Amino acid sequence: MKILYVEDDPTAREYIRRGLTEHGHVVDVAEDGAIGLELALSHSYALIILDVGLPELDGFELLARLREHDTSTPVLFLSARGEVQDRVRGLNLGADDYLPKPFAFAELLARIQAVSRRRLDDPEDFVLRVADLELDLKAHLVRRAGRTLELTAKQFSLLEYLMRNAGQVLSRTMIMEHIWGYSFDTYSNVIDVHIAHLRKKVDRDFSPKLLRTVKGVGYTLRDPDA
Ligand code: CA
């Protein structure tokens, strides 16, 4: 999943970023609260991991400002300030979980899984549909006209992003940032290659065609009959 991690300690930041990347997550990092808030408001993340003690804007303040605009992105606090009152304050502000430092990396992974599972308990959220194409987030399955399509993990993320934004044109840069993280080389044609493979699976044997190229702009997924 795509995660934003806000942490001012460079050693912790790099250690956690690398660990999460190795477990298949795409991680954007921010070194202070102001940068963190800016990224959180301008990108869509499946989870935000926040240190409490941060320069510019502390984690509590960041969360309070984020919740004015975005009430749904799960937030996990990660902090040495494991005192009960801090924990309560974070949860009252709308954090989903709180992990006191020091912690074992395996525990962080378990909390991340728990947070994402809880979010999927809302049945409204776990099946995306465009025409006869269905993406089931809980079962991690994609079907078209009742037939199961075999997608790679990247193709699944790409399709999920397109379906969540059905009808909107997504630029290559937006797709790149969302699926591969914002530091990725945007001049590469990796997106076009992934789109071509995805299109073959989603559209080749079916009608109508849902995945469209918008020349000079990017891609869109929509039901032409809707
Ligand atoms: Ca800190």
Higher-pLDDT residue of 194, 84: 194
- The answer to whether the pTM exceeds 0.85 is no
pLDDT by residue (tens digit) across 33-60? 999 999 999 988 989 999 999 999 999 9
pLDDT of res. 80:
72
What number is the average pLDDT over the span 58-82? Answer: 86
Q: Which has the minimum average pLDDT: 27-31, 93-97, 140-144, 201-205?
A: 93-97
Placement of tokens 């408001």 in the chain: 41
What number is the average pLDDT over the span 119-148? Answer: 82
Report the chain's mean pLDDT, rounded to a whole number: 86
pLDDT of res. 99:
84
d(CA 181, ligand 1 centre) in Å: 23
Closest CA to 130 of 142, 140, 121: 142
d(CA 55, ligand 1 centre) in Å: 8
d(CA 190, ligand 1 centre) in Å: 36
pLDDT for 124 beyond 60? no
* Residues 6+ away with beta carbon under 8 Å from 183: 28
pLDDT for 157 beyond 90? no
d(CA 16, ligand 1 centre) in Å: 14
d(CA 50, ligand 1 centre) in Å: 9
pLDDT for 186 beyond 90? no
- Which domains are seen in the chain, by residue range? 2-118 (3.40.50.2300), 123-221 (1.10.10.10)
CB-count burial class (<10 Å; 0-12, 13-18, 19+) for 29: buried
pLDDT by residue (tens digit) across 78-115? 877 666 677 777 777 778 888 887 788 888 988 888 87
d(CA 117, ligand 1 centre) in Å: 27
Cα distances from 75 to residues 133, 200, 225, in angstroms, run: 30, 36, 38
d(CA 39, ligand 1 centre) in Å: 18
